[in-house]
Structure 1
């Protein structure tokens, strides 16, 4: 007997080929009905034999399309209905948006083959996509995900594309981003004066490849924003790019033409290969051990033994890669510190002194995004997300929220992101950057308004950091006042802790959890600068327990940029002559007086890293955020825990950064190797966490903050932890301040008194 059922599917189910998949599956089981997108996901009405319907339902849930992610699903019997076959209906929006949004997907293997095949009609077409790949979030204007809700709607499908779109047997059946060379998006090459360079379409990428080989810098408008590219093997042009971009030392990302080429030059393990070829296609930071290539390493990644590498993730980059025999620099298209550029006019205006040529197109990028960055630790292969952007944003899957309030959290200041909970789902923006920069701040505020517009409802509550001078805090106050809604401030490190608790759903944990939050800076409840914190979580409450001993916070934000100031603050009397050599006589006089009258203190482990780097003459002035800490870890090649020693006598209650610095100076004077000193330092930090846990009988340790981007420290912790204690690191979020917006929402929902 035939029956009719209603099936609701929520999650990442729009823009992933779900409806055509359902259509094909329904035909396989001889079912009739309809499938459509709505504001909550995918809705299916299906009629057929009861046994067939449930076989269909089981297969649908167990084997969905490859880039989909089902969060919830339900099936219910409804009044019998008669259908003429099985059809995909246009989406109807009957209410406010309540579903996961869809991130961008890297070009799939089949599309890659098609654009490289002279016999295929999409040969050489750079905007080739299908239901399994292509831009999504980058071009989204509103939802449900339909072509007319994206910026690609400007390009009307030709007859051939429309035939593919409407043919149930075609792999582009209902592909919302479907275009081809006949009806789609053209590329144009301009010189830096804005003059068009006439190049036949068929040889455009060959021309760009030859320009790169000749030593030119090219700004390429990709599907998520501009990239600045040059020959990575040409030392002179890489230095030119550094000078023009005002980026003296921060490493550049490298785009390899193929996985084979990358593996010929670098040692890549299975996890790294899986990440590099995934639908997210992030940059992977990989060791240079055994490197066999010709990249100008000291210009691309000055002083580092690691390289950030990626593979082509769009048709544009793939077609360029097809013409390249070399790896190229592919760094964000911006001036250092500014957000990635996505508009043609802005690129020509702001990058004309940087790029020699511009490759542009007319597809509007609604949500510009940087490339995401991950690193796997050397010994334990623990994945650490350094930057969460293209391929990951704007979804967060491990949270189903029914808070009863529409909440927007505005995060931190340096590595800003915005989290929004307007319905049952949580959305976290792409990495936005340092809000000290006006253009980043503008991108930040625009993103907040876009979220509000996209969901067609204003937040009822604004959350922000406790630091009164953070731009995100000040904007939060203004936005709450403008919208006439409530606001609430949350201490920085408590938000960090709540973030990792939230990722692992530990708020209902029966046992106490030790929170370890180590970073560079955060405004504390007592008005001092925190950053070396231990917290106790139990009975839905967070309490600060012993932290790193306070030391002087000197010269405001300048301290974070000059590791020598951290060393000055932590150096004992016997080290003054050594430290004074790092300053001019005038500076020394000023800072001595400043230190004498200083009242602001800090517990920052990030600044302790800076002090160690300065003491070991690794870095006195940071040219980019975290440079000292990166260079410090960079000198660790290998270690043996049995050869490590601690720089602390008592690590149960009091953790003295001054004692650590003093003992490091003694080791340095005695001739101990720099590498072993760094290893001992990291071992001391790891041991302090274990000692704190053991002395207070914790069985759960949750760790957050930028310090835990140090993968050597992460490895040591994993190796040191006894079986009875469990470590919790971030999984889908970065340990740095990008997780603060998520943590603010978690804190408010679970911990607010």
Structure 2
């Protein structure tokens, strides 16, 4: 009897066509054996000559399926077994889940061709998938990734689909999401009042309704989208009014890459990202725009567009019918989470959508579209939202013997869980001030524990006592008798960059720059303009922007004019009089005299500058002032820039001096673009001057301010290769990275000062 070998492959190896790939490869090598999924990955048994098995093993690990990501692989001899041929055997779960979860994949080119080919049996079937594409995490209830553990278990495959599923030469061989129009998911088009519209092909009727100026709530494969004609300014205004979203930009779904490139100039990296399996929204400058979009209504006062391409069968077929760009924004009321349930959609969106295009596939894990942007000069990728296609896996090695849950921040909340050998970070959840978001947040915490059949031994929370994530973490730790640890907000940001770039074992010192809107500081003040050093397991705060008054609590973040008031001196009274009533001036002057709470926030400094320049006095969405500020810059040359800051003393950046000098330029009539450019240049020089003073050549930067792509480019350009610069790369620099940073801090930081 030939020897028997066992091969174990771990990582993202389920739901990606790994077993069919193994079957065909084993058949090619004429090897007998089995392949199956279990709670840890893929298990292969092979009987045969050792040299042949080793050749098989080498080819498999060097050329796995394109959607897979192997973490580890092992091969060893085991007790001899007899096999009749090679087969895929049913998966058996013998223990707790210990593998990467599979994210959703955009529809592949083969499936696109089938659903638009009138001779193909899947013509016009919007839920066409194969082993290379389709929803995964969105419809997953448990693992291993088998049909029974997904929401497709209620759809029994017809004979033809079963034949495909059992045919080794078919790309749907063991495709767990395989369905067709005879046995699969059904669409339903209805009026907002609930009346069903009879249509042989509901997508065609939906396209007609959109062209007629209607708003449609479409149940996509990861949640509802609100869609309307992107060329029709009136219907976009109507959508803004109904959705309570006065000025935040809308995402635009282009029907094809060809039509997008006809309207907008995109570069190679942007094109590659738009057409990737993740297919995120990509924010692109409107420079040289040549299309018919209602730009003023889509992106008020901004020179950029968030665009994407059809990534699901529903969207691809709709785009084919329309052949025009459409708004495709999250199906929710402003600030609420994306809706995934039909009953809730019809209840919540009844006053927003005119029609509903629903289907009967349940969505377990709803996700917003991911959003990325590339910096203008160096094409540095910055993630604005990490969700569909990217969550819930995160590739990083974290050696630990504890089960840890990190509760994250408050505004851009995520949950990170370390229940086994892998780290899982939830999709973007949102602002926990809102009940619906908090409900989604708490259910995500529960779902992670249920999925992995593990309760945390350690719970990590932010130091801010008022964060709902902190409160829930305290309650959770108490209820399950877990250890509770607090991690300061900005140190978590710093640790997130160190963790992404595996810098904790670096022997040289590293400077951390963390700039954002708000965070509870160790001295009970509001931090947001911080400098740290890291070396040998120790984080030390070494500098910050000079404190100024924190006025009116959370209202300050919503009204940039209050930040302006806080930083203004007597010479700016005329500007104050324009922005505040006499009563308000009296109240805020009184607050200035009695307020003991101070802030070092660079985010609020951005707000103050935006208000001074009359760009934004009231934020209608988070970060609006900062976005409008960056929006002023069309181009810049470093040699034409000047700094508004003098020398820093004892690690303190002169905040009011920067603002006063900027004001002088404003009063002398300098162009807004020039002032904003100089402001960002000032911040970029501050980073490098501080690194020079600390005598450190490595600089790690995080916090929402570093979503400013011009600032990132300026720092890189000014560094001239003399410094090693590190930014968040696969996580957003905003508070989405806090949960990950909390974990990294807990694992690596021994001392803090």
TM-score, normalisation: structure 1: 0.99
Shift of the alpha carbon at 1:50?
1.9
Q: Name the counterpart of 2:661.
A: 663
CA distance in 1, matches of 2:587, 2:330: 38
* 1:8 aligned residue: 8
Tell me the distance in 2 between the aligned counterparts of 1:723 and 1:207. Answer: 57
Residue 549 of structure 1 aligns with which residue?
546
**Structure 1 residue aligned with 2:278:** 280
Q: Is the 8 A contact 1:125 1:315 kept in 2?
A: yes
Q: Please name the residue that 2:529 is paired with.
A: 532
- Segments of structure 2 that go 5 or more residues without pairing to the other structure are none
Question: What is the CA deviation profile of residues 557-613 of structure 1, one whole-angstrom value per residue up to 9, with x for unaligned ones?
Answer: 000011111011111221123223200111111111111111100000000000010
Secondary structure of the corresponding residue to residue 76 of structure 1: strand
Q: State how 1:613-652 maps to structure 2 within 5 Å.
A: 613-651=610-648
Per-residue CA deviations over 1:42-75 (Å, capped at 9, x if unaligned) read 1111122222212211111111111111111111
Cα distance in 1 for residues equivalent to 2:573 and 2:480: 54
1:39 paired residue number: 39
* 1:324-403 → structure 2 map (5 Å cutoff): 324-397=322-395, 399-403=396-400
**1:723, distance to aligned residue in structure 2 (A):** 2.5
Equivalent residues in 2 for 1:89-104, closer than 5 Å: 89-104=89-104
Structure 2 CA distance for aligned equivalents of residues 210 and 93 of structure 1:
48
Taking the TM superposition and a 5 Å limit, the aligned residue runs for 1:658-697 are: 658-697=656-695
Question: 1:75, 1:468 → 2: CA distance?
Answer: 50
SS at match of 1:684: helix
Query: Distance between the aligned counterparts of 1:217 and 1:629, measured in 2?
Result: 30
Aligned to 2:589: 592
Distance 1:313 1:723 in 2: 38
The secondary structure found in structure 2 opposite 1:365 is coil
The CA distance in 1 between the partners of 2:357 and 2:33, in whole Å, is 46
Mapped contact 2:549–2:599 kept (Cα < 8 A): yes
Of 402, 407, 414, the residue aligned with 2:411 is: 414
- More displaced 10-residue stretch of structure 1: 585-594 or 252-261: 585-594
**Does the alignment pair 1:605 with 2:575?**
no
SS in 2 for 1:257: coil
Post-superposition Cα deviations, 1:150-176, rounded to whole Å, max 9, x if no partner, equal 011111111111111111111100000
Choose the corresponding residue for 2:254, options 238, 252, 256: 256
CA contact (8 A) 2:302 2:628 kept: yes
Using the alignment, how far apart are the partners of 1:49 and 1:724 within structure 2?
55
Runs of 5+ consecutive residues of structure 1 not aligned to the other structure: none
CA distance in 2, matches of 1:435, 1:671: 42
Aligned to 1:564: 561
> Following TM superposition, by how much is the alpha carbon of 1:656 offset from its aligned partner in structure 2, in angstroms?
1.2
Could you say which residue in structure 1 is the equivalent of 2:149? 149
- 2 CA distance for matches of 1:427 and 1:73? 20
- Please state whether the residue corresponding to 1:141 is helix, strand or coil: coil
Cα deviation, 1:641-695, whole Å, max 9, x if unaligned, reads 0101000111463311111110111111122111011111001000000001111
**Does structure 2 retain, via aligned residues, the 8 Å contact 1:227–1:331?**
yes
CA distance in 1, matches of 2:356, 2:483: 46
Match of 1:716 in 2: 714
SS in 1 for 2:189: strand
Whether the 8 Å CA contact 2:330–2:368 is kept in 1: the answer is: yes
Instruction: Give 1:9 deviation, angstroms.
Output: 0.7
- Structure-2 residue corresponding to 1:135: 135
Structure 1 consecutive aligned stretches of length 4 or more whose deviation exceeds 3 Å: none
Is the 8 Å Cα contact of residues 463 and 476 (structure 1) preserved in structure 2? Answer: yes
Q: Confirm or deny: 8 A CA contact 1:549 1:603 kept in the other structure.
A: yes
How far off its partner does 1:485 sit?
1.5
Distance in 2, Cα, partners of 1:24 & 1:599? 70
Q: Is this contact kept in 1: 2:646–2:654, CA < 8 A?
A: no
Separation in 2, partners of 1:384, 1:2: 53
Q: Distance in 2 between matches of 1:290 and 1:611?
A: 31
1:241 aligns with 2:234: no
Q: Where does 1:116-131 land on structure 2 (aligned, <5 Å)?
A: 116-131=116-131
Inter-partner Cα distance in structure 1 for 2:17 and 2:526: 49
| Aligned residue number for residue 301 of structure 2 | 303
- Secondary structure, aligned partner of 2:177: coil
3-state secondary structure, aligned to 1:739: helix
Q: CA RMSD in A?
A: 0.9
Kept in 2, the 8 Å contact 1:254–1:309? The answer is yes
TM-score calculated relative to the size of structure 2: 0.99
Distance 1:2 1:731 in 2: 49
Candidates 480, 493, 516, aligned match of 1:519: 516
Deviations 1:729-752 (A, max 9, x none): 111100000000000011011114
Cα distance between partner residues in 2 of 1:536 and 1:647? 25
Deviation at 1:24, TM superposition (A): 0.6
Q: CA deviation at 1:210?
A: 0.8
- Could you tell which deviates more after superposition, 1-10 or 556-565? 1-10
| In 2, Cα distance between equivalents of 1:464 and 1:238 | 40
Between the aligned partners of 2:227 and 2:389, the Cα distance in structure 1 is 21
Which sits farther off after the overlay, 643-652 or 696-705? 643-652
Contact 2:191–2:355, Cα closer than 8 Å, also in 1: yes
Question: Residue 81 of structure 1: CA displacement?
Answer: 2.3
Q: Which residue in the other structure is 1:190 paired with?
A: 190
CA distance in 2, matches of 1:519, 1:234: 36
Contact 1:107 1:313 in 2 (8 A): yes
Query: Could you tell me whether the CA contact under 8 Å between 1:402 and 1:423 is conserved in 2?
Result: no
The 2-side partners of 1:363 and 1:732 are apart by: 30
SS at match of 1:130: coil
Partner of 1:112: 112
Using the TM superposition, name which of 648-657 and 561-570 deviates more.
Answer: 648-657
> Cα deviation per residue 1:510-568 (whole Å; 9 max; x = unaligned)?
10000000000000011000000000101101010110000000000000011111011
**Partner SS, residue 474 of structure 1:** helix
Aligned partners of 1:690 and 1:721 also within 8 Å:
yes
8 Å contact 1:5–1:76 — kept in the other structure? yes
Aligned counterparts of 1:56 and 1:121: Cα–Cα separation in 2: 36
Counterpart CA distance in 2 for 1:481 and 1:539 is 32
Distance 2:750 2:336 in 1: 35
3-state SS in 2 of match to 1:581: helix
Instruction: Determine the structure 1 residue equivalent to 2:210.
Output: 212
SS where residue 160 of structure 1 aligns? helix
Cα-to-partner distance string for 1:484-508 (whole Å, 9 max, x where unaligned): 2211111100000111100011110
Distance in 2, Cα, partners of 1:20 & 1:4: 20
For 2:82 and 2:729, the matched residues in 1 are separated by 47
* Conserved 8 A contact 1:401-1:423: no
Cα drift, residue 402 of structure 1: 3.1
Cα distance in 2 for residues equivalent to 1:114 and 1:64: 25
SS class of match (2:327):
strand
